[in-house]
Amino acid sequence: MSQIIDLRSDTITQPTKLMREAMMEAPLGDDVLGDDPTVHRLQERCAELFGKEAACFVPSGSMANQACIRALTSPGDEILAHENSHIYQYEAGGPAALSGCTFAFFRGERGFFTSEEVRQAIRPDDHHFPRSRLLVVENTNNRGGGSVWPLEQLADVTGTAHDLGLRCHLDGARIWNACEATGTSPDQWASHFDTVSACFSKGLGAPVGSIVVGDRKTINQIHRLRKMLGGAMRQSGFLAAAALHGIEHHRDRLADDHRRARRLAEALADCPDTNVDLDSIDTNIVYFDTGDRDAHRMQSAFDSMGVKLLALGPFRMRAVLSMAVDDEGLDHAIPVLLDGLGGGV
């Protein structure tokens, strides 16, 4: 097979030549002992970008989210989040296992919910009930199709939560996409939250890593939790340099991913029995329904033809655009997908 077009996720990206050079040239220390200068530079840069006092570099988005949950809650507390949230769907039961927390769920379209729903979800101050303690918002929302929260609605939701005594965490794994799609800056989103996590290994193309930002006291606790969870690394300036390069050089190019996602969605929308909601294509993620055709069987068939996607349900598939797929790659993938969805597989 001469060409493989990988649309499974934006996590499959490879470091560019310039990113690899930045990694190799990075000054290094021992970050566990607190003296890796490149990690310090990344943390300072992210604190500045998000308008927070401090930051902590961690190996993964899941660790970032789970450390924040642990720092902002106590065992027996309840987390308010959308039922499709990454922290619930894809983090191995971390809130229960690591923090002893339960969930109250919202079920709005595309991962959104309202301040009135937050008010209704708050538990009475009664010893029979768990304590409503933490609100988590995911932006962009993965299972919502890469949806971007309206900033005013987000501000209303978090403002209500804070007024009711809750802390607020932003799962900003793809916050860079939200910024590019709306023209807003990271600090505009972060100003509504106590903590924010953001990934470098998706749209920015770094090989690994996420950041947590917040006030200095909370970030000190995050550093301790990172150690406790096994995420403290030694000469991690190699990885921090990749993240810094992505921040400085790869944010503007996210617009290309969004444009290609729109192009792919429009092509799929013309295919009979393939349902795509074009109004839901905010960023780089395209979900589509396969009618009565088995999505897992179609995934295997497309794999054999050199186009990789993910089946995320019996009749639902996802394609994600990233720096791993350029216009030429999409030119190759679209006819393969249309032929298969049109009855060729």
Query: CA-CA distance, 325 to 321, in Å (whole number)?
Result: 6
The Cα diameter of the chain in Å comes to 64
Q: Which residues have C-beta within 8 Å of that of residue 124, sequence separation ≥ 6?
A: none
Task: Output the pLDDT for position 337.
Answer: 94
pLDDT above 60 for 332:
yes
- The single residue listed with the structure tokens 């839901």 is 280
Q: Compute the 3-state secondary structure of the chain and give helix, strand, coil in percent, each to the nearest 5.
A: 45, 15, 35
Tell me the pLDDT tens digit for each residue of 282-324: 999 999 999 889 999 999 999 999 999 999 999 999 999 999 9
Query: CA-CA distance, 116 to 122, in Å (whole number)?
Result: 10
Task: Output the pLDDT for position 58.
Answer: 98
How does DSSP classify residue 124?
A: P
Query: CA-CA distance, 134 to 11, in Å (whole number)?
Result: 28
Is residue 203 within 8 A of residue 181, CB to CB? The reply is: no
Task: Output the pLDDT for position 342.
Answer: 80
Neighbours of 310 (CB within 10 A): 15
Mean pLDDT lowest among 27-31, 178-182, 222-226, 271-275 = 271-275
Query: CA-CA distance, 334 to 7, in Å (whole number)?
Result: 11
Segments making up each domain of the chain, as ranges: 17-249, 253-344
The CATH number fitting domain 253-344, selected from 1.10.3720.10, 1.10.340.30, 3.90.1150.10, 2.60.40.3140: 3.90.1150.10
Task: Output the pLDDT for position 302.
Answer: 96
pLDDT above 60 for 1:
no
| Angstrom distances, CA of residue 334 to CA of 91, 103, 329 | 32, 40, 9
pLDDT above 90 for 3:
no
Sign of torsion, CA 259 277 108 60? negative
Residue type, 177: N
Task: Output the pLDDT for position 134.
Answer: 98
pLDDT above 80 for 2:
no
Provide mean pLDDT across the span 177-195: 98
Q: What is the 3-state secondary structure (H, E, C) of 286-311?
A: EEEECCCCCHHHHHHHHHHCCEECEE
Sign of torsion, CA 118 119 123 125? positive
The sheet carrying 131-138 orders its strands as: 54-58, 210-214, 195-199, 167-172, 131-138, 77-82, 102-106
Task: Output the pLDDT for position 204.
Answer: 98
Tell me the pLDDT tens digit for each residue of 108-122: 999 999 999 999 999
Angle at 55 between CA 28 and CA 48, to 5 degrees: 100
The β-bridge relationship of strands 210-214 and 54-58 is: antiparallel
Tell me the pLDDT tens digit for each residue of 75-95: 999 999 999 999 999 999 999
Report residue 2 as tokens: 């001469």
Task: Output the pLDDT for position 292.
Answer: 87
| Angstrom distances, CA of residue 144 to CA of 86, 235, 322 | 11, 37, 18
Query: CA-CA distance, 199 to 46, in Å (whole number)?
Result: 11
Q: Which CATH architecture has domain 17-249?
A: 3-Layer(aba) Sandwich (3.40)
pLDDT above 70 for 343:
no
Query: CA-CA distance, 204 to 303, in Å (whole number)?
Result: 25
Tell me the pLDDT tens digit for each residue of 6-18: 999 999 999 999 9
Tell me the pLDDT tens digit for each residue of 121-164: 999 999 999 999 999 999 999 999 999 999 999 999 999 999 99
Q: What is this structure's pTM? A: 0.96
Q: Which residues pair with 106 in a beta bridge?
A: 82
Exposure string of 64-95, with b = 16+ CB inside 10 Å and e = fewer, is bbbbbbbbbbeeebbbbbbebbbbbeebeebb
Neighbours of 42 (CB within 10 A): 26
pLDDT above 90 for 225:
yes
Q: Which residues have C-beta within 8 Å of that of residue 22, sequence separation ≥ 6?
A: 241, 242, 244, 245
Q: What's the whole-number average pLDDT of the chain?
A: 96
